[in-house]
Amino acid sequence: MASQSSGVYLMDSTSRLHRAILVGLLLVACSGCITVQPDVVAEEDDSSVFESVSTKSEWGTSSVQASVTLTSSATTSQGVTRLNVITKDGKSFYTTTVDSGQTNASLPIPTRQSSKLVAVNTVNGTVVGTYNVTVTGTTYP
């Protein structure tokens, strides 16, 4: 009797493993390339709006989720109310609003290309600052 239940468990575990592998392969096939161990690299260090951009993602397909840290004056005295992610070909990739006093935001950044983070004051319609970033990592087809 014990061998039957052990056999059922083994078959069930093997079946789950096969399903997990199949789902993983389908995700990669349907989404294109996968970037593992991504890192967000800033192309400049001196910004009056952006302090840092980083990711804790272990992998990404078309983008990785990034954490953006703004200076303490970005949303207060500089009036930043929106952050935009612009791709290298000038297309809007993502937009989010920020509140007065907010110093952290989470947003997706495209992989395998350079992008521009744009901080905007929507009250007077001005660009307060830009930050060029690139997501690096090992890419598999």
For residues 16 and 78, membership in a common domain is answered with no
- Between CA 79 and CA 21 the distance in angstroms is 48
Lookup: tokens for 16: 């789950």
Predicted local distance difference test score (pLDDT) of residue 85: 98
For residues 92 and 109, membership in a common domain is answered with yes
For residues 17 and 40, membership in a common domain is answered with no
Domain that holds residue 18: 1-31
For residues 46 and 115, membership in a common domain is answered with yes
For residues 100 and 121, membership in a common domain is answered with yes
CATH code for the domain in which residue 82 is found: 2.60.40
- How many other CB atoms sit within 10 Å of the CB of residue 128? 18
pLDDT along the chain (141 residues), means of 10: 51 67 58 82 87 93 95 97 97 98 97 94 96 90 75
